[in-house]
Chains A and B, each alone.
Chain A
Amino acid sequence: MRQFALVGLPNTGKSSLFNRLTGLSQRVGNWPGLTVELAHARLLLGNQMVELTDLPGIHDLSGYTDDEAVVRDVLGARDFNALVLVLNAAQLDRQLPLAIQLTATGLPCLIVLNMADEAELLGIDIDAAALSHRLGAPLVLVSTRSGQGWAELQKALATLARQAGTPQRARLAGLPDTHEAVEQAEALLAGVWRLPPTLPKRLSHRLDQVLMHPWLGLAAFAAIMAALFNGTYLIGGPLQEMLGNALQGMREAWLAPLATHLPSWLASLLLDGLWQGVSTVATFAPIIFVFFVLMALIEDSGYLARAAYLTDALMARLGLDGRGFVLQLMGFGCNVPAVMGTRVLRERRQRLLSMLIIPFSLCSARLQVVLFFSAALFSPRHAPWVLAAFYAVSLAAAMLTAWLFKRRLCASEAYLLEVPPYRLPSARHVLTRAWGEVAAFLRLASTFIVAGVVLVWLLTRLPAGGYGSVADAIGHVLSPLLDPIGIPEPLAVVLLFGFVAKEILLGSLAVVYGVSDGQLTTALAAQLDWVSAMSFLLFTLIYVPCLSTVAAIRRESKSARFTLLSVGWSLLLAWLVSFVFFQLASRL
């Protein structure tokens, strides 16, 4: 099988091109010897099977960013038959240097000039045949979005596959450096690629008059974020509930009757442990799908860069960039996709810092717990203020964390972000991407999350002498830690369940108090004073949001140490905040 690598600059529509070529046949997998995941797919070009690997977008093959190192590592570690290079036809003045570097690797190259339709609208004059001749490589003009030039691209790819010789390693030593590549590119473009003397004013400029306006822009930003947020909720929420009900129904109608023949411990392990865990995780799928559809719309339309422009002044002070703000906001819906979405930040340290603060966003699952407690313990007049206070605590925890860790995880790269013209996102690309994210998340569930759920089941069911279960024993052992923050010992088990998912926290609280869900309000008011309840709630808000978030952090950071740091820091901060609150409030 032939091996092709897809290379290009960010924002050239490289991934859309990959999606359009490969559809749902693509797989995301770990690259042997590297800690990166790369999408790859097999496709039939002419009569040749080709494996196409999508490499991260880069600006410069001799650069030092994380992505540039990855591309060099991959090209230096494996034999390829050819490279397919995607460039924006309207920006060849700054993009052609990459083509100079790649053709110098000695691998056959196909140059794909994408966004040919935009270049045409701008009045850019491209002599494709002459440019191809000067580069010594075949070249096609396409528009992934409109499909313009698609047949020519297919034909060029088939020719490349047919003519490919034995696969070879890229020559990376002695490549032209940035400066040389830029000079060669300038000479190559002279006379064959011409910008008009004045560029026509585009619709994007007029839209930006409003969307990037100092205060109109902020108002529009708030409105767009509110729409995005509510969209995730209004569409994803009911889907999540429907799926949850369906899985619960399956359990009652089919699995429970089947399990009656099993020993009761095994039936409980399968139903309360495994099935409960799998269902809890599966109900995240609709939220993740909806979130990534909306996120892809924001990103592909070009709005994300505008949002970054508007919020960067604030985020820069926290050691983050403006795109992190959007993810932080989305975390208020659900932390899991927000953590997965940090991939839009290309620098690893920025991504880690974002991942560290997103779990403090008061997500919808924790919101239910806060709403329930504040309704149970406070008058309707005070309850909204309690809720507002919890949002404030959530933001403060995130900002404190960013401030504390920004020195260690501060971006070392210069912050430069392209602001692409507004584009109509393609439905095919948006859906393919959202589906890919859901599939990746569900693969996680098969190991990490199910293991965690079964572990918690074991802890709460295995007997431990006089203490009841192992979990009760843990609660007893932890009591020196729980007493100073006013959390009664039996609630330690509830916090353990809350570690799996905050959705099951209230249910397990009802079990601890031996009441039905409906009687929980009265039981809470009778059993807990408000200071202990608030301390418990603060702890619940700040400590690990759920096992799925931990799994997402593990997946995105690819570091067990960082995942432990994230879990450990949130537990420590939760304890400290609860401690300060409880000690102060109980002395009032």
Chain B
Amino acid sequence: MTLDRLRAGTRGIVTRLDLDDDTLRRVAAFGLRPGQTVHLARRAAFGGPLMLEVGTTQFLLRGSLARHIEVDQRA
């Protein structure tokens, strides 16, 4: 499944990122890399951004970008 469809409060492991090189670099700077566990902490109303946690870093990511990131859902 893609990251934007993860349920709020659950975790996933990043498996694939269908992004261009530049964007790949930007998301890697926030820890979004294959094999990393990501926690979807919350989701803003009206199709707003997702708040993600990787390690101790929390950050916002828009759904339009999260659609290109594949994750395996974890408990």
Contact = CB atoms under 8 A, between A and B. Distances in A.
A415 B27 CA distance: 9
Interface string B14-45: 00000100111111111101000000001011
Given A59-B29, A312-B62, A415-B62, A212 B22 contact: no
B56 A63 contact: no
B51 A416 contact: no
16 contacts: A60-B25, A60-B28, A60-B29, A63-B22, A64-B25, A94-B29, A97-B29, A178-B28, A178-B29, A182-B33, A212-B42, A310-B44, A414-B19, A416-B27, A416-B30, A418-B58
Nearest to A413: B26
Given A309-B60, A415-B49, A420-B58, 4 more contacts: A122-B56, A313-B45, A313-B49, A414-B23
A414 B26 contact: yes
Residue with the greatest number of chain B CB neighbours at <10 A, chosen from A60, A308, A417, A421: A417
Interface string A288-314: 000000000000000001001110111
Interface of A: 9, 59-60, 62-65, 90-91, 93-94, 97, 122, 124, 178-179, 182, 195, 199, 208, 212, 214, 305, 308-310, 312-314, 316, 322, 413-421
8 nearest interchain CB pairs? A59-B29, A313-B48, A313-B46, A419-B58, A94-B31, A214-B45, A417-B60, A414-B23
A415 B60 contact: yes
Residue with the greatest number of chain A CB neighbours at <10 A, chosen from B30, B47, B60: B60
A64 B22 contact: yes
Size band of the B side of the interface? 20 to 34
B55 interface: yes
Contacts of B24: 178
B65 A414 contact: yes
A72 to B, nearest CB: 14
A208 to B, nearest CB: 8
Residue with the greatest number of chain A CB neighbours at <10 A, chosen from B47, B49, B54, B55: B49
Contacts of A9: 29
Nearest to A214: B45
Given A212-B51, A309-B51, A418 B22 contact: no
